[in-house]
Amino acid sequence: MLKEKMVEALNLQLNREIYSAYLYLAMSAHCSYKGLTGFANWFKVQYGEEIEHAEKFYSYLIEQGARVELEAIEKPPMKFGEPLEMFEKTLGHEQFITRSIKDLLELAVVEKDYATSIFLQWFIKEQVEEEANDNEIIAKLKLAGEDGAGLLVVDSELGKRGH
């Protein structure tokens, strides 16, 4: 059985994952509006991944017979600027999520909650991957610079990201 402190922290993370999904859906809509269909695709796939992350927390709480408490989801911004700025914001958000997962793991270790520690390992690895993907795209966008043709090459590459 999970301790109350842990149930609260896991529910908070569930909310943060849903917010991540919401944020990336808003970014996808913004890119579609600007005609950047490849970027829109990338963020839409990311939205789906975040829903999966949220569902992992949801299922873990259910499996442990713990309370699921769905809190309000914060409204994401509507304006994001140019693609480079968007990916810098994305990286910043993922760094925040990484810290949040690490805090959860620290709590699990302090509480000697071995099951939750093991459950969180997947997220620790996933965050390394997410930050690496964002850094890679940021590097490409920096190379493209102000060059519209370069931006379209990155857009077409991101359009290939599958579900």
The verdict on 94 binding ligand OFO (CB under 6 A) reads: yes
CB 119 to ligand OFO: min, Å: 14
List the one residue from 6, 11, 18, 20 that touches ligand OFO (CB under 6 A): 20
Q: How far are the Cα atoms of 6, 33, 90, 91, 157 from residue 84, in angstroms, in the given order?
A: 37, 17, 10, 11, 15
Q: How far are the Cα atoms of 32, 34, 52, 110 from residue 40, in angstroms, in the given order?
A: 5, 9, 19, 41
The verdict on 134 binding ligand OFO (CB under 6 A) reads: no
Query: Is residue 151 classed exposed, middle or buried when 0-12, 13-18 and 19+ CB atoms within 10 A define those classes?
Result: buried
CB 149 to ligand OFO: min, Å: 30
Structure tokens at 27: 């970014």
Binding mask 52-91 for ligand OFO (x = CB under 6 A): -x--------------------------------------
User: Where do contacts with ligand OFO occur on this chain (CB under 6 A)?
Assistant: 17, 20, 50, 53, 94, 97, 130
